[in-house]
Amino acid sequence: MKKLILSIALLCSGLFADAQTETLLSIKPAGNQIVSKHIYGHFSEHLGRCIYDGFWVGENSSIPNKGRIRLDVVDALKKIKVPNLRWPGGCFADEYHWRDGIGPRNERPKMVNTNWGGVIEDNSFGTHEFLDLCKMLDCEPYIAGNVGSGTVEEMAKWVEYLNFDGVSPMTAIRKQNGMDKPWKVSFWGVGNESWGCGGNMTPEYYSDLYRRYATYARDYAGAPLKRIASGASSDDYHWTETCMKNIGPGRMWGLTLHYYTLPTGNWGAKGSATKFDEEQYFNTMKNCLRMEEIVSKHAAIMDKYDPKKKVALIVDEWGIWTDVEPGTNPGFLYQQNSLRDALIAGTTLNIFNNHSDRVRMANLAQTINVLQALILTEKDKMVLTPTYHVFDLYKVHMDAKYLPINFTSPDYSLGDKKILALNVSASQDSTGAIHISLVNLDPKNKIALNTDLGELKWKTVTGQILTSAQLTDVNTFTNANKVHNAKFTGAKKSGNTLKVELPAQSVVVLELK
């Protein structure tokens, strides 16, 4: 491949308050590193209205559905090519007993969802229903097994029920329940948040327990497991160190990491999803950008024990977590989704892309009606959030060759505080097209990019943009398209130079052919 050198000068026009600055950005040629499509995964827990009233409608619902799975939701998720879906939790996974969710629905026992609102779970959406959903979405299932309140035998038999194509008690039950051939589920989580709601364990205890559970989660013919260990919360580097040392790279495919962006940094009063000023916005984005430091430090620990990078770092819970919407059940974690959240999504995905040598899977929390949702529903109505539109823009990076980037960002300043205004990632797809995703976090100033592409020969540039007048702008059931993707006309070719004007508070994805 021809050497690709991209230099960008960030020039402040007369509209800018600051003096002119120049920044060099270079993009190196693609190597063997791939931006895994699984970075763009999602998470659906038995929590609030994610499953019930989200994916799953009533038995006699007039909402178009197939086997009670809501079709408009399926169509929307297929459009963004959802690569994998994590289920049944979350905290719910470690109180979920899979046999309660198979067989005739009218015979399934009910249970109390003790983690999320104390509501009654009727188990009508279980293993078969989830795997039907994944088939409709054409995505890979990612199942989190119960280590907290379950047993080794329970998990082992669930794997057998899912993956064994032979004669056994579990396959006989599966066939009795209408599935003759196994699903061959690959992604398998051994517990969830074992440091917290999954058992309040120490890393030393969990890593020993993992080895036991993982031993009996068998590889069956044609169905090798990708075993995933329950990893750290945020900056708990001791947890990662202990798991890497005690479990070792040969016993796990991946190790998880959970990090949520809290607007205030305070779990007690996290801040509103829709009512915030610039100072609250600034602090939110500062907390979002911590993902770079956290991923880098966990990856460095993993490198010490796994220099060949065989173990994936899986950020299978991430996103903004705010206070719930006023008047809603606090245990349902329902929050609106603004332009600010779209900027968080674009920024975080750029970070993951740039660490795709180690981050090979991630799952936004959560898909529908919970936390930083892609989709909100209300009876027969459905709205796509600004975050959904970012995933629609970024799907071009899936399984593309990673293009390394070096640059210095201008600052976004507020008083005496400052953060990086610009973040970028780039990839080259199988057709040779280059995709560059750019996020400008500064809500006031544009960034002018004057780009020299060196030896790269290209003829056209096109793009799409996501922005809005206010950071607090949201899509609602009465105004579903207030924040949406639009054609971007701020990029042009001048000789072999790419000139871009990146608007304030925007996400832009460019395609060069």
Q: Which of 22, 292, 317, 511 is catalytic?
A: 317
Burial label for 12, CB within 10 Å (0-12, 13-18, 19+), is: middle
Residue with tokens 């120490």: 202
Burial label for 458, CB within 10 Å (0-12, 13-18, 19+), is: middle
CA 31 to chain centre: 25
Task: Map residue 170 onto helix, strand or coil.
Answer: helix
**To which H or E segment does residue 280 belong?**
helix 278-305
Q: What are the Cα distances from residue 223, in Å, to 170, 182, 220, 227, 254?
A: 16, 9, 5, 12, 17
d(CA 372, CA 387): 7
Task: Map residue 102 onto helix, strand or coil.
Answer: coil
Residue with tokens 């297929």: 78
Residue with tokens 């953060």: 419
Cα-based angle 435, 86, 273 (whole degrees, multiple of 5): 70
Q: What are the Cα distances from residue 193, in Å, to 42, 176, 238?
A: 17, 34, 15
The CA-to-CA distance between both ends of the chain, in Å, stands at 15
Q: Which of 154, 193, 378, 455 is catalytic?
A: 193
Residue with tokens 């009996």: 216
Q: Which two tokens stand for residue 21?
A: 């600055």
What dihedral do alpha carbons 369, 35, 225, 248 form, nearest 10°? Answer: -110
Q: Are 303 and 309 in contact (CB under 8 A)?
A: yes
Secondary structure of 391-424 in the HEC alphabet? HHHHHHHCCEEECCEECCCCEEEECCEEEECEEE
Residue 30 region, left (φ>0) first, then alpha (ψ -120 to 50), else beta?
beta
d(CA 243, CA 221): 28
317 tagged catalytic: yes
Task: Map residue 111 onto helix, strand or coil.
Answer: strand
Q: Are 298 and 313 in contact (CB under 8 A)?
A: yes
Q: Are 317 and 264 in contact (CB under 8 A)?
A: no
Active site residues: 193, 317
